Structure 1
Amino acid sequence: MDKFRAMATFVQIVDAGSLTAAAAATSQSPTGVVRLLAALEAALGVRLLNRTTRRLALTDEGRDYLARCRRILADVEDAEHLLSARQHRPAGRLSLTAPVMFGRRHVVPVVNEFLAAHPDMQVQLLLLDRVVDLLEEGMDLALRIGGLAESSMVALPLGATRQVVVASPRYLDRYGQPQVPADLGRHRCLAFDAGDRGWSFEIEGERRVVPIAPVLGTNQVDAALDACLQGLGCTRLLHYQVAEHLAAGRLVRLLRAFERPAVPIHLAYPQKRLMSLRVRAFIDFARPRLRAAVPGDDGARIAPAGPGV
């Protein structure tokens, strides 16, 4: 059995969602794909996929093996590109993850521009409001908001943003404007977290959590923002998420004197990963555009570059 071919076929099966589709994508017969998968599972001594007549589902072992296969295949592809005549023209697959709203607003336009400028490139863009382990999931780059806990990551600063409390003029006309964080206990709050019962502020030089009683708790930024725009309450979101509404006067920034320090926005990649031409090309293309796209926030500091920032 050609182990490398078997690994590539296994990844293709998962990406295609079926054995038949994987066979077509790899120019193999469906029978050949089934046999190759069975031989791979036999060699490993584990089942990688649970197969029914309707769908395929990764086992726990299959999920772990998939991440490692992606990483190995990407490294092989990197080596081939570095040694080929194509090294002066970026080509191949790039994988990138970003938070949902920031990704939709700022990353998607940059990715589209990049693909138009580099027709030999393919980009897999994963928008998720969770931290993705790039090494474990075999991805190249991540846009991160907040400090990086992993010392193994190289962080390229793009800007900074902070949490801000906002409300619509219609809401403030009806309920008045809070003057200090404690006033929020008497206001209708919209929480971007179904379990959120307190917002943190900088009070007398210390971080303090002020209790709130949300009339709406949601795990979707857009839901909290829409309710706020309709005058249903005040909410706390990141500045970039509300910048356009503040500029247009649809929202008012509240309790500014008590805001917590800004958090950095980074483009990050694994320190141990060989820097391929396609990754370098995307960083060089995207970084100035993303820096320009981050809405300005008075006093928001930009963190220094370097690993583990």
Structure 2
Amino acid sequence: MDKLKAMQTFVQIADAGSLSAAARAQGGSLPAVVRTLALYEAHLGVRLFNRSTRRISLTPDGRQHLASCRQLLGAVAEAEAALREGATQPTGTLTVTAPVLFGQLHVAPAVTRFVQQHPQLQCRVVLLDRVVNLLEEGFDMGLRIGHLDDSSLVARALGEVRRPVVASPAYLARVGQPQHPRDLQQANCIHRIDGRNAWGPFQEHGRLFDVEVSGQLAFNHNAPAVAACVLGGGFGQFFSYQVAAELQRGELVEVLQDFQGPPTPVQVVYPHARLLPVRARLFIDWMRQELAGFAPEAAPQA
């Protein structure tokens, strides 16, 4: 059995949505497609599709294998293209995900400059404020802020960010400066709608701790929360890049600096044990250069 052809047939069936449509796309016969799929499923020992008289759909094993096949077939195509084009010119499509605000401020400009350097390459950038399953959702790699919990991914460090607590000068003049993170428990805190209202980590005498907060305002995105903080709506805790401009302009002031916890890593992540195509390797190197030295910004003093 030609495994590469079987993978191509499997992907074509999934993309086309039916066996007959895949046969037409191949310019072959329906019996040949059915036979190839049957042999491939027998070889793998799993069912890739649920089939009925009216429709065909991927099984859970099929969805997982589809992402792997796309990666492998993409790497094969890239390897062939590299031989033809001198092994350094990336081609094809690179699909990347990143958090919304970080993506807007830092990733999108860097990707724009990247494709300008490589005119035969296409990049799709999807900005989402949630943890994306790269394999299941068809992403080549993701930019993430935080520690990596998924052992199926490889992480490359790009930099780090802080998580300062901030407020507007007018709000601080009205309510006063908090002296300890525990003071936030009785304060008006602008927080995220994510089911967890704990801020931190803070650090005291080498011990890390969080504090539970509450307040009148909660948002599902950071940009309006920052704007509310600037307007004097209360205290907020954000990643340092999210409030860097406001701190620089003096619209926000950082508090509780003495209790600042350890920085949070910024990483590019991709599926483990994958043969990375040229475009992916070049993109990782590019982002490491673009975000080199991306570190906690120095906050203006109150």
Instruction: Identify the residue that residue 6 of structure 1 maps to in structure 2.
Output: 9
Instruction: Let me know the Cα RMSD of the aligned residues.
Output: 3.7
Q: 1:278 to 1:50 in 2, by over 3 A?
A: farther
Aligned to 1:120: 120
Find the aligned partners of 1:267 and 1:162 in 2 and give their Cα distance.
18
Return the alpha-carbon distance in structure 2 between the equivalents of residues 238 and 50 of structure 1: 50
For residues 15 and 131 of structure 2, the distance between their equivalents in structure 1, rounded to whole angstroms, comes to 25
Tell me, which stretches of 5 or more residues in structure 1 are unaligned?
300-309
Consecutive unaligned residues of structure 2, counting only runs of 5 or more, are 42-46
Instruction: Kindly provide the CA deviation profile for residues 204-234 of structure 1, in whole angstroms up to 9, marking residues without a partner as x.
Output: 3212222322322333212322221221111
Match of 2:180 in 1: 180
Distance 2:170 2:150 in 1: 43
CA shift for structure 1 position 139: 3.5
Cα distance, 1:133 vs structure 2: 4.3
1:214 is aligned with what amino acid? G
CA distance in 2, matches of 1:291, 1:248: 24
- SS of 1:163's partner is coil
8 Å Cα contact 2:92/2:122 also seen in 1? yes
Compute the displacement of 1:248 (Å): 0.8
Task: Name the % identity.
Answer: 38
Counterpart of 1:246? Answer: 247
CA distance in 2, matches of 1:268, 1:276: 15
Query: TM-score under structure 2 normalisation?
Result: 0.78
Query: Per-residue displacement from partner, 1:110-155 (whole Å, max 9, x unpaired)?
Result: 1111112211101122322333344555543322222233556544
Tell whether 2:72 aligns with 1:66. Answer: no
Distance 1:40 1:136, change over 3 A: farther
In the other structure, the counterpart of 1:274 is 275
C-alpha distance in structure 1 between counterparts of 2:24 and 2:124, whole Å: 27
Aligned positions, number: 286
Q: Conserved in 2, the CA contact under 8 Å of 1:197 and 1:214?
A: no
Q: Give me the whole-angstrom Cα distance separating, in 2, the residues matched to 1:41 and 1:131.
A: 36
Name the TM-score, length of structure 1 as normaliser. 0.76
Moved more, 153-162 or 180-189: 153-162
Q: Is the contact between residue 71 and residue 135 of structure 1 (CA under 8 Å) also seen in structure 2?
A: no
Q: Is the CA contact 2:64–2:135 (under 8 Å) kept in the aligned structure 1?
A: no
The answer to whether the 8 A contact 2:51-2:57 is kept is: yes
Given residue 227 of structure 1, which amino acid in structure 2 is its aligned partner?
A
In the aligned structure 2, how far is the partner of 1:231 from the partner of 1:141? Answer: 38
Residue equivalent to 1:255? 256
Report Cα offsets for 1:52-79 as digits up to 9, x if no partner: 99xx986645533432332232232233
Q: Quote how far apart the aligned CAs of 1:252 are.
A: 0.8
Q: Matched residues in 2 for 1:31 and 1:153: separation?
A: 34
Q: Is the 8 A contact 1:99 1:128 kept in 2?
A: yes
Name the residue aligned to 2:157: 157
